[in-house]
Chain A
Amino acid sequence: MPRAEAELPGQLEELHAASYGWALGCCGYDREEAQDVLQAAYLKVLDGRARFDGASSFKTWLFAVIRRTAGERRRSRWTRALALDRWSSAKVRTADPPDPEQAARGSETARRLRLALRELPRRQREVVHLVFYQDLSLEEAAQVAGISAGSARTHYHRAKARLRALLETR
């Protein structure tokens, strides 16, 4: 049953912290890009361009919307390069590197994990983030990533093995 429109802002706000974490994961921990993606995803939900049909949990559906929005923005980056006046426009921004001061303020464990995650292929990074960071099951992670449960399992095991190797060497 479709969720009543009046409930949507409350539901989004309730999941905001988790959604922000997921948007960060989708954007390679670029905070500015993550906020842009999150805003675009929220607007899609609030103005009805993305409609919840109740086929999955609201969280799973919202995460899939965020993931799709991040993908759209990623794909549109090369088109941005065609814009002749991109250098003069302050609003058209390519991905900023993460703020080094902010990174330095974080814990060493989080920093190492963030760096290791960046080295994983996108699918593996998504699945391992959804399972360990968001506490989703592999089936839910597969729904968010738009892949089969078997494929999600493969990505999950490969990601863990790669993370282990990366974290041991750092």
Chain B
Amino acid sequence: MTRDRDHDGVLHEAFAELRREDTAHAPSFDAVVQRTSGATTPVPLRGGALAAGMLAAALVVGLLVRRPALAPPPAAATLAWTAPTDFLLRTPGIEVLESVPHIAPRRSLLALDGAAAAMEPKRRSPSP
């Protein structure tokens, strides 16, 4: 505890010495405000930053444009591959499911409807 306090005292003295020295060499307020060297961002920096930004943007665009061409085509072996259990999917009657059914034209359907009506027995009228 006492050692800490002693050390704080040593630090206070050392910092006071440093402050005195800095204050003695400090430029005046006006000299700092009217200073000519670059407080503002220098022009080469702006140009450099702009050039770097444009270069980065061009690289990104270039990569994006070239990306599909760089993608490798799928291997033929991959496309031709069939699963070992593929035969299990070949169930009886699968031809029916895989083919498109033939639908009769509308006119013949109407004819069929007419024939069915003619074959239907006539109802008797109810007796009075």
> Is A20 within 8 A of B22, CB to CB?
yes
Partner of B21, one of A35, A83, A110: A110
How far is B19's CA from A109's CA once the two chains are assembled, in angstroms? 11
Chain A positions 58 through 101: 1 when the CB is less than 8 Å from some CB of chain B, otherwise 0: 00000000000000000010011011111001011100000000
How close is A100's CB to chain B, nearest CB, in angstroms? Answer: 14
A39 and B17 within 8 A (CB): no
Interface of A is mostly: helix
With both chains docked as a complex, state the minimum distance between the C-beta of A158 and any C-beta of chain B, in angstroms: 14
Which residues of the other chain, A, contact B109 by a CB distance below 8 angstroms?
Answer: none
Q: Mark A114-137, 1 if CB is under 8 A from B, else 0.
A: 100000000000001100110000
Is there an interface contact between B42 and A36, defined as CB atoms closer than 8 Å? no
Chain B residues whose CB sits within 8 angstroms of the CB of A43 once the complex forms: 33, 39-40
From known contacts A17-B26, A20-B26, A132-B12, infer whether A38 and B32 are also in contact, taking CB-CB under 8 Å. yes
Given contacts A20-B26, A93-B37, contact A39 B32 (CB under 8 A): yes
Check B19 against A80 for contact (C-beta < 8 Å): no
Q: Are B35 and A35 in contact (CB-based, < 8 A)?
A: yes
A–B pairs, 28, beta carbons within 8 Å: A17-B23, A20-B26, A36-B35, A36-B38, A39-B33, A40-B40, A42-B32, A42-B33, A43-B40, A80-B45, A83-B47, A84-B44, A84-B48, A84-B51, A85-B44, A89-B42, A93-B37, A93-B38, A107-B21, A110-B17, A110-B21, A112-B14, A113-B14, A113-B18, A129-B15, A132-B15, A167-B10, A167-B14
